[in-house]
């Protein structure tokens, strides 16, 4: 079904049938009819927009992987992005057709608008289920080559590799925290246990405790709920 759907989208993309806020209404009608004629499957505009979102996501992830510019590594969590791992050693069918549709207008940056976002905006003209007949076109040799290329297996092992070691987060041993609490004069056992439970899970709190003068440590610890 994706092959039939993308064939129509590529044709109308080449014809310039994309408005500022997404595909023109008659493109959806053409997709509905062509998929029915080719695959004997009834689809709706909602089905089409759902698949377009998937194509959009595939294009964004794969093109960044192929660029190998650090994509696939999340610097905030210091781990490979979940989206990138999902495409490791995965066959992406119809990649050439997806690339044709998105390569020229898939922007990047804060103000970028993806195809998935475009299809969520309302169209000025409603889509009707019955559309004028679209003449069947004989599959060209170039289209056959694109279908074959779409089934090629792409490996992204190199894109997920990193040569830099991950920095280890500082963690104070519980024994050191307990020893520091025992040095606080006149601290009741119940108060010590309550403070201990807070400090072992929050490194920042322990650093704050050690930064206080000794005479202020007990009053500060007693503020813990």
Express each pLDDT in 148-189 by its tens digit: 555 554 544 554 555 556 566 778 999 999 999 999 999 999
User: How distant is the alpha carbon of residue 29 from its chain centre?
Assistant: 29
Return the pLDDT at 208.
Answer: 93
Return the pLDDT at 165.
Answer: 61
d(CA 93, CA 140): 18
Residue that wins the pLDDT comparison between 55 and 146: 55
Neighbours of 131 (CB within 10 A): 16
- What percentage of the chain carries pLDDT values higher than 70? 57
The domain segmentation of the chain, as residue ranges, is 2-160, 174-221
**Helix, coil or strand: residue 50:** helix
Whether 65 contacts 84, CB under 8 Å: yes
Q: Highest mean pLDDT range out of 98-112, 122-136, 144-158, 173-187?
A: 173-187
Return the pLDDT at 128.
Answer: 47
Return the pLDDT at 96.
Answer: 81
Residue that wins the pLDDT comparison between 74 and 54: 54
Residue 107 has pLDDT above 50, yes or no: no
Query: What is the DSSP code (8-state) at residue 160?
Result: G
Whether 45 contacts 35, CB under 8 Å: no
Return the pLDDT at 119.
Answer: 45
Return the pLDDT at 189.
Answer: 93
- What percentage of the chain carries pLDDT values higher than 90? 25
d(CA 143, CA 149): 10
User: pLDDT tens digit string along 65-95?
Assistant: 666 555 555 555 545 466 666 655 566 678 7
What's the mean per-residue pLDDT of the chain? Answer: 73
Return the pLDDT at 60.
Answer: 78
Return the pLDDT at 197.
Answer: 93
Return the pLDDT at 12.
Answer: 85
**Average pLDDT value for residue range 210-223:** 94
């Amino acid at each position: 079904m994706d092959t039939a759907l993308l064939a129509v989208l590529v044709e109308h993309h080449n014809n310039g049938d994309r408005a500022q806020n997404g595909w023109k209404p008659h493109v959806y009608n053409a997709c509905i009819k062509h998929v029915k004629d080719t695959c004997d499957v009834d689809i709706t505009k909602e089905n089409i927009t759902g698949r377009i979102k998937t194509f959009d996501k595939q294009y964004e992830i794969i093109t960044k992987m192929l660029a190998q510019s650090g994509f696939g590594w999340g610097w905030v969590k210091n781990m490979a992005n979940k989206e990138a791992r999902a495409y490791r050693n995965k066959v992406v069918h119809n990649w050439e057709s997806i690339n044709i549709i998105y390569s020229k207008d898939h922007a990047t940056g804060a103000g970028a608008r993806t195809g998935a976002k475009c299809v969520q905006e309302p169209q000025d003209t409603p889509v009707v289920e019955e559309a004028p007949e679209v003449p069947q076109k004989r599959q060209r040799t170039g289209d056959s080559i694109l279908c074959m290329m779409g089934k090629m297996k792409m490996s992204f092992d190199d894109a997920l590799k990193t040569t830099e070691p991950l920095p280890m987060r500082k963690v104070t041993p519980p024994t050191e925290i307990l020893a520091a609490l025992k040095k606080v004069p006149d601290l009741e056992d119940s108060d010590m246990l309550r403070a201990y439970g807070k400090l072992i899970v929050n490194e920042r709190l322990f650093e704050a405790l050690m930064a206080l003068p000794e005479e202020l440590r007990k009053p500060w610890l007693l503020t813990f709920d």
